[in-house]
Structure 1
Amino acid sequence: MAEPDGVTTGATEHQLHRRLTGRQLTMIGLGGAIGTGLFLGSALAISQAGPATIIAFVVVALVALVIAWALAEMVTVHPTAGAFGTIAHSYMGRWAGFVTRWTYWTIQVIAVGGEVIAAGIYVQYWWPTVPLWLAVVVFSVALIVVNAATVRFFGEFEYWLSMIKVSAIVVFILLGILLITVGLPGAPATGVDNLTSDGGFFPMGLSGVFLAMVFVVFSFIGTEVVSVTAAEAENPTRDVPRAARQMVVRLAIFYVLAIAVVLTIAPWSQTAQGGSLDASPFVRVLDAAQVPGGASLMNFVILTAALSSANTNLYLTTRMLHSLAGHGYAPAALGKVSRSGAPRNALVLSTAGLAIAAALSVNQGADAYLALFGISVFGALVVWMMILASHARFRLLRRQHGLPDSPARMWGAPVTTGLAFLFLGAVLVSTAFIDGLQIAWKVGIPFFALLVIAYFVTASRRGDSASNDPLRDELALSGRGASRGGAGEPEAATGRPDDA
């Protein structure tokens, strides 16, 4: 049926609306990634590696590019709700789709809570007496209102929030270069001595660089958001690959240059302050450089960055629940969308992270951010590894069944895919050796154990249905999937054994 604004979607009460434009996709991707990982969590990375944090950002940027490109290759062929979760369901088995989507939903719910806590910390920069919980509650209500509106309104709102922080990063980099080279009024040129003084460029050695990558990885979480928007993009085949590549390249440039400026303007020990999270390193640098009004303005920018990231992550969680409901792995009511195209029932459940953040902010204050950080980064690394495993399976099965290649094939695969997978596995192991992040393993292992049990319980109750399987549908259309029980049997089509 014809939707408003001339968009034809054939929408039902469970179908998302295709109303996101190419420019919105790119900015939503940036909005999902540029958040507290860069502006607040970078203090943790700097405390581990000092000036060599720059190298950590370069390496992780390359890994993020592999993940974004792999996703673009897959969702260009299958622009479905649930994105990489649905693709894992098709190519690796129903268990993989279940685990990937519920893990992603959980970590993003937690990430949303972490972002609003960070936003409250930023508010306390101006008004230290404002209770953290009050700021968290106010911001949470605002985010719920935006996500309950039409997807076009969400896209436009997120576009401008992302534009603010992207523009601010560009201005920060330009001002930083001026301050380093020629100085600013009232602030003499700093030069580049801070990169090699105070212990040298590698004050913690190469091991420090590797440990810093744990925190740097968190700065790039969100690069997968473009793939999730594919089900609501006006032209996913054209816009998703372009948006994914542009987003990661821009992120890499912004992050590397911004961190280089931060570490050049002020000594790294002063910027990190032992990994303290009472203020952003970007604000501390401008404070140290005595740029008039600069610190306050930057604090406003990173406040909008945290809210933008939380806004995008809340969007992601609702779409993952919508996808799970479509496969019968969540209550059917969570798959329904409103007339505006928003899965509001899924949104209500996804606000759990905001409730957790409000509760933690009452008793734990800024320490709550590190706790939420550790849990979410553990799950995010697992999800990224599942994406790369799905990509390897995607390539293999499509070749076996003679299906056409994606128009967005990733360079160097499967070698690039394998190397990125091994890197993420090593980073995941290293979280066990970082103070404050041990909670990731303490919570992560029991969580996955419960998730596997939940899958088998759910699968046994729901039967052997294989609905909404994009690979099965493609094989049926091509006439290649009817070796056992007809095209409706994905196991016969893909060569996978029954997993339920």
Structure 2
Amino acid sequence: MANTVESPETAAPAGLKRALSSRQIAMMAIGSAIGTGLFLGSGLAISFAGPAVIVAYVIGAVVALAVAYALAEMTVAHPEAAGFGAIAARYLGAGAGFVQRWIYWTAVVVNIGAEVVAAGIYVRFWWPGVPLWVPAVGFSVLMLVVNVLSVRFFGEFEFWFAMIKVVTIVLFVLIGVVAIVTGLPGHPASGLRAVTAYGGFTPNGLGGIWLALTVVTFSYLGTEAVAVAAGESKNPRKDVPRAARSMVLRLGLFYILAIAVVIAIVPWTQTAKANGVSESPFVQLFTTAGVPAAAVIMNFVVLTAALSAMNSNLYVGSRMVHSLALDGMAPRWLAGVSSRGVPVRSLGLSAVGLALAIGISLISPDNAFAALVGLALFGALVTWLLIFATLLAFRRRRAAEGQPPSLVRLRGGPVPVVLAMIFLVSVIVTTAFTPQFWIVLPAGVPFLVALCLAYLVVRTIRRSRAKTQSAR
């Protein structure tokens, strides 16, 4: 039997194994992006914009789609890259690659900490007497074990975990459409009266829509995970673009259709005040539809949503560190992989960060952890900004070298890229005017400066070592 030899362009980075299919990659990104924000946190966005929040979700979907196409365009040209950070280092310089990967890793780890604590809270829905740290530690260990096993097992696990969320949203939308058009047993058709009956479609004006974009953009963060998996995709040139397109279209439809059902059936003033699983608009609709124990079922769904997001983010975080180690921007020993092709040392570092995030959230949930969440949002938005900046540099260099445009690309030339970057900067600035996200800039900017200084130190050390070795 002839041996199959990977070309340098498609070889997996340093020991990683190409075992993820396009369906697994797409579902992993969906799992990373759809957390408890849709099921429980969408009320915050609705409180800002009222029924007009649907406009904010459409805008967010368009920007997320632009990110996906930008990543697909660059990944097709560099399928061997260990994520978008390695591509940024190639086109924007080592400093940009260093900052992007470390700030994204920090955002991911903090987000994992938030999700695991949320998972513990959901368990206490059934067993209120259980100390919060018990389920938090238990779920952390479970997700680490899943990630330590082969990447193929991880992909399959995440596929079915994310599928629970997808099925729930589809059922919610279908029941909602029936409730709007024909009505449910014992309940007449609701129609679209709730969309305008409580202060109009835009009760808080255009300013409310803009404030809602801070929450909505955060909801779509995680779509970039599709590019991180390029190094372990079976066929990255085909799988990543296909997964990116299908993932963002599904994600946009899930969010837009689900929110449309919510604002059409439940008065936005009521949704904005909802707090907890039992008051989720999903539970309200399932209860109206006669689904027994709707709150219990929904609690299980949001629990799986949190675990799915944890699982995907642990994968993404470990691959970021592995990529940094390969480029000499983190200790080289972190690049080591197991016999199954899993970067267990990088995963271990991500676990340490996870432990810190959990500890802080348990000790000071209202103060210190709020700063960490602000840092996570800032880091994720900066990551998107650098993705677009990398795309501009990528196109400029390819044009200068006389290379043809990528077959998969973001259409419209530089205009949509620049507009997306302006949008993201505006969202970052707007966080200062929202009480829930006021900490984003005070937490994020100093950390960004610290990373830039850290890179200068790393670069100095590397140059000093190179001079010493050349002198020998």
Q: Same fold (TM over 0.5)?
A: yes
Find the residue that maps to 1:249 and give its secondary structure. Answer: helix
- 2:12–2:232 contact (8 Å) kept in structure 1: no
- Cα separation, 2, equivalents of 1:280 and 1:392: 45
Pairwise CA distance, 1:353: 4.1
- Cα separation, 2, equivalents of 1:200 and 1:426: 26
Question: Which structure 2 residues correspond to residues 103-252 of structure 1 after superposition, within 5 A?
Answer: 103-252=103-252
Question: Which structure 2 residues correspond to residues 404-483 of structure 1 after superposition, within 5 A?
Answer: 404-463=404-463
1:359 and 2:368 aligned: no
The number of residue pairs the alignment matches comes to 462
Residue 84 of structure 2 is matched in structure 1 by 84
Question: Which structure 2 residues correspond to residues 284-323 of structure 1 after superposition, within 5 A?
Answer: 284-286=283-285, 289=288, 291-293=290-292, 294-323=294-323
Provide, for residues 448-485 of structure 1, a one-character-per-residue CA deviation record: whole Å limited to 9, x for no partner.
1110110000011112999xxxxxxxxxxxxxxxxxxx
Indicate how the Cα distance of structure 1 residues 367 and 245 shifts in structure 2: closer, same or farther if over 3 A, else same.
farther
Provide, for residues 240-290 of structure 1, a one-character-per-residue CA deviation record: whole Å limited to 9, x for no partner.
11110111111111110001112222111221217x466673445337737
- Cα separation, 1, equivalents of 2:166 and 2:354: 25
Q: Relative to structure 2, which stretch is displaced further, 24-33 or 54-63?
A: 24-33
1:64 and 2:48 aligned: no
- 2:428–2:441 contact (8 Å) kept in structure 1: no
Q: Report sequence identity in percent.
A: 51
- Cα separation, 2, equivalents of 1:137 and 1:200: 46
Q: Which residue type is aligned with residue 228 of structure 1?
A: V
Provide, for residues 16-63 of structure 1, a one-character-per-residue CA deviation record: whole Å limited to 9, x for no partner.
111111221121121111112322331221121111111100001001
Provide, for residues 147-204 of structure 1, a one-character-per-residue CA deviation record: whole Å limited to 9, x for no partner.
1110000011011111111111111110111122222234443322221122221121
- Cα separation, 2, equivalents of 1:140 and 1:397: 43
- Cα separation, 2, equivalents of 1:363 and 1:433: 27
- Cα separation, 2, equivalents of 1:199 and 1:7: 64
Residue 329 of structure 2 is matched in structure 1 by 329
TM-score of the aligned structures, taking structure 2 as reference length: 0.92
Residue 18 of structure 1 is matched in structure 2 by 18
- 1:117–1:366 contact (8 Å) kept in structure 2: no
1:341 and 2:341 aligned: yes
Q: Which residue type is aligned with residue 70 of structure 1?
A: A
- Cα separation, 2, equivalents of 1:9 and 1:132: 49
- Cα separation, 2, equivalents of 1:464 and 1:407: 42
Q: Which residue type is aligned with residue 312 of structure 1?
A: S
Indicate how the Cα distance of structure 1 residues 318 and 81 shifts in structure 2: closer, same or farther if over 3 A, else same.
farther
- 2:12–2:18 contact (8 Å) kept in structure 1: no
- Cα separation, 2, equivalents of 1:352 and 1:310: 14
- Cα separation, 2, equivalents of 1:33 and 1:428: 19
- Cα separation, 2, equivalents of 1:452 and 1:58: 34
Provide, for residues 414-454 of structure 1, a one-character-per-residue CA deviation record: whole Å limited to 9, x for no partner.
11111111111100100111103122112111101110110
- Cα separation, 2, equivalents of 1:371 and 1:178: 42
Indicate how the Cα distance of structure 1 residues 13 and 370 shifts in structure 2: closer, same or farther if over 3 A, else same.
closer
- 2:98–2:324 contact (8 Å) kept in structure 1: yes
Indicate how the Cα distance of structure 1 residues 40 and 352 shifts in structure 2: closer, same or farther if over 3 A, else same.
farther
Question: Which structure 2 residues correspond to residues 26-41 of structure 1 after superposition, within 5 A?
Answer: 26-41=26-41
Residue 485 of structure 1 is matched in structure 2 by none
- Cα separation, 1, equivalents of 2:367 and 2:273: 15
Pairwise CA distance, 1:373: 3.4
TM-score of the aligned structures, taking structure 1 as reference length: 0.87
Indicate how the Cα distance of structure 1 residues 457 and 364 shifts in structure 2: closer, same or farther if over 3 A, else same.
closer
- 2:374–2:444 contact (8 Å) kept in structure 1: no
- 1:29–1:226 contact (8 Å) kept in structure 2: yes
- Cα separation, 2, equivalents of 1:279 and 1:356: 30
Pairwise CA distance, 1:15: 2.1
- 1:43–1:277 contact (8 Å) kept in structure 2: no
- 1:385–1:421 contact (8 Å) kept in structure 2: yes
Q: Which residue type is aligned with residue 345 of structure 1?
A: R
- Cα separation, 2, equivalents of 1:167 and 1:397: 43
Q: Which residue type is aligned with residue 299 of structure 2?
A: N
Find the residue that maps to 2:18 and give its secondary structure. Answer: coil
Pairwise CA distance, 1:320: 0.3
Q: Segments of 4+ in structure 1 off by > 4 A?
A: 6-13, 276-280, 364-372
Find the residue that maps to 2:435 and give its secondary structure. Answer: coil
When the two chains are superposed, the root-mean-square deviation of aligned CA atoms in Å is: 2.5
Structure 2: stretches of 5+ with no match in the other structure: 467-472
Find the residue that maps to 2:376 and give its secondary structure. Answer: helix
Provide, for residues 65-92 of structure 1, a one-character-per-residue CA deviation record: whole Å limited to 9, x for no partner.
1110000000111123432101110111
- Cα separation, 1, equivalents of 2:268 and 2:290: 18
Pairwise CA distance, 1:379: 1.0
Residue 270 of structure 1 is matched in structure 2 by 270
- Cα separation, 2, equivalents of 1:279 and 1:347: 35
- Cα separation, 1, equivalents of 2:255 and 2:26: 16
Q: Relative to structure 2, which stretch is displaced further, 263-272 or 457-466?
A: 457-466
Q: Which residue type is aligned with residue 82 of structure 2?
A: G
Indicate how the Cα distance of structure 1 residues 352 and 291 shifts in structure 2: closer, same or farther if over 3 A, else same.
farther
- Cα separation, 2, equivalents of 1:465 and 1:326: 17
Indicate how the Cα distance of structure 1 residues 123 and 291 shifts in structure 2: closer, same or farther if over 3 A, else same.
farther
Indicate how the Cα distance of structure 1 residues 103 and 346 shifts in structure 2: closer, same or farther if over 3 A, else same.
same
Q: Which residue type is aligned with residue 406 of structure 2?
A: S
- 1:114–1:357 contact (8 Å) kept in structure 2: yes
Indicate how the Cα distance of structure 1 residues 199 and 208 shifts in structure 2: closer, same or farther if over 3 A, else same.
same
- Cα separation, 2, equivalents of 1:50 and 1:352: 40
Indicate how the Cα distance of structure 1 residues 367 and 295 shifts in structure 2: closer, same or farther if over 3 A, else same.
farther
- Cα separation, 2, equivalents of 1:89 and 1:450: 18
